């Protein structure tokens, strides 16, 4: 199996009423933890790379690690650019072997967003690469993307048909109340399923993407707080809401914060219990195991894509 685009994955996910997990990768342990979980559950997989991850780890290192994962697992894996903000960045990832890119023009006007997205789609499709666009603005912080709560905006269903038709995108990220980071809701968690339903009606059969969809799992937040961290009030999207979204038009669910929390909590606990250890394998090994455990949980209990590879 070679790297694949998201096209076939999304088609099957839409028809099957499940979603594909898109997990952010930054280093070898994270890639191994995620791909081992997908292999054990026989799940299709999207590994996504942000501009920040590419800067941190280097494009070639990440590509080679992902190629190794394909070889080791034999799974259909899509390698996707998360939040590309310029044509040049998308082009660089497409030329460098990515099978899917996101162009996030959501900070531009509707017309500018269409223009930029269309430009990326034309280049990407000529090379057989799929493109995700975004309409609406999620609150929160993720790498270079930083949107205050006042600037956040739900996706307007009246705009989706025109956007998809004029740009030719393969999937669309929408804002219905999820947000980036580990502090998603001050009060009760609430997603606008009415907006998702309306969009699904306007775009029958079209794959929708949810960003900022970590559940901020309490066991890992507690672990961080117990071993010297401070994350009071951290809160995520309840998993039953994500399951419901996955059964609807949502075909891709982005999960990053949960993996960061699991990795950090495990390392904090390790050092609290073994203060004199200094072999990186001793703490990165358990961190990798915790990534694997959380990804398996997401695949089976949230996404429903186990056995679908
Ligand atoms: Zn995002």
User: What spacing in Å lies between the alpha carbon of 277 and ligand 1's midpoint?
Assistant: 36
What are 23-38's pLDDT values in tens digits? 999 999 999 999 999 9
Does some domain include residue 151? yes
Please report, for the domain that includes residue 252, its CATH number: 3.20.20.70
Give the model's pLDDT for residue 171.
98
What are 201-232's pLDDT values in tens digits? 999 999 999 999 999 999 999 999 999 999 98
Does some domain include residue 277? yes
User: What spacing in Å lies between the alpha carbon of 178 and ligand 1's midpoint?
Assistant: 10
1 pLDDT higher than 80: no
Does some domain include residue 1? no
What are 94-138's pLDDT values in tens digits? 999 999 999 999 999 999 999 999 999 999 999 999 999 999 988
d(CA 58, CA 189): 36
Average pLDDT for 59-84 = 97
User: Is 82 designated active site?
Assistant: yes
Query: How many domains, in total, are found in the chain?
Result: 1
Alpha carbon distances (Å) from 54 to 2, 61, 210, 287: 21, 9, 22, 21
Catalytic option among 82, 256, 258, 306? 82
**Minimum mean pLDDT among 51-60, 145-154, 292-301: which range?**
145-154
Does some domain include residue 308? no
3-state secondary structure 52-115: HHHHHHCHHHHHHHHHHHHHHHCCCEEEEEEEECCHHHHHHHHHCCCCEEEECCCCCCHHHHHH
Does some domain include residue 2? no
User: What spacing in Å lies between the alpha carbon of 254 and ligand 1's midpoint?
Assistant: 7
Does some domain include residue 232? yes
List the domain range (segments joined by +) for residue 68: 7-303
């Amino acid at each position: 199996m070679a790297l694949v685009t998201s096209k076939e994955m999304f088609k099957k996910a839409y028809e099957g009423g499940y979603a594909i997990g898109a997990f952010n990768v930054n280093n070898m342990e994270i890639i191994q933890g995620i791909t081992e979980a997908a292999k054990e559950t026989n799940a299709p997989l999207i590994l996504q790379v942000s501009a920040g991850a590419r800067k941190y780890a280097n494009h070639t290192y990440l590509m080679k690690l992902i190629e190794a994962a394909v070889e080791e697992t034999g799974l259909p894996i899509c390698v996707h650019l998360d939040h590309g903000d310029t044509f040049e960045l998308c082009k660089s990832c497409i030329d460098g072997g990515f099978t899917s890119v996101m162009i996030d023009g959501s900070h531009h006007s509707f017309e500018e967003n269409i223009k930029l997205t269309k430009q990326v789609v034309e280049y990407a499709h000529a090379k057989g690469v799929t493109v995700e666009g975004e309409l609406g603005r999620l609150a929160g912080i993720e790498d270079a993307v930083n949107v205050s709560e006042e600037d956040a905006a739900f996706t307007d269903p009246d705009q989706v048909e025109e956007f998809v038709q004029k740009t030719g995108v393969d999937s669309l990220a929408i804002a219905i109340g999820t947000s980036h980071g580990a502090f998603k809701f001050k009060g009760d968690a609430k997603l606008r399923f009415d907006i998702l339903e309306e969009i699904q009606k306007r775009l029958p059969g079209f794959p929708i993407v949810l960003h900022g969809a970590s559940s901020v799992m309490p066991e890992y937040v507690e672990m961080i707080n117990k071993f010297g961290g401070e994350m009071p009030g951290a809160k995520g999207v309840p998993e039953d809401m994500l399951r419901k979204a996955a059964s609807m038009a949502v075909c891709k669910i982005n999960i990053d914060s949960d993996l960061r929390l699991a990795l950090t909590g495990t390392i904090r606990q390790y050092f609290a219990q073994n203060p004199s250890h200094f072999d990186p394998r001793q703490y990165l090994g358990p961190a990798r195991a915790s990534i694997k455990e959380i990804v398996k949980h997401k695949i089976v209990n949230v996404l429903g894509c186990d056995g679908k590879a």
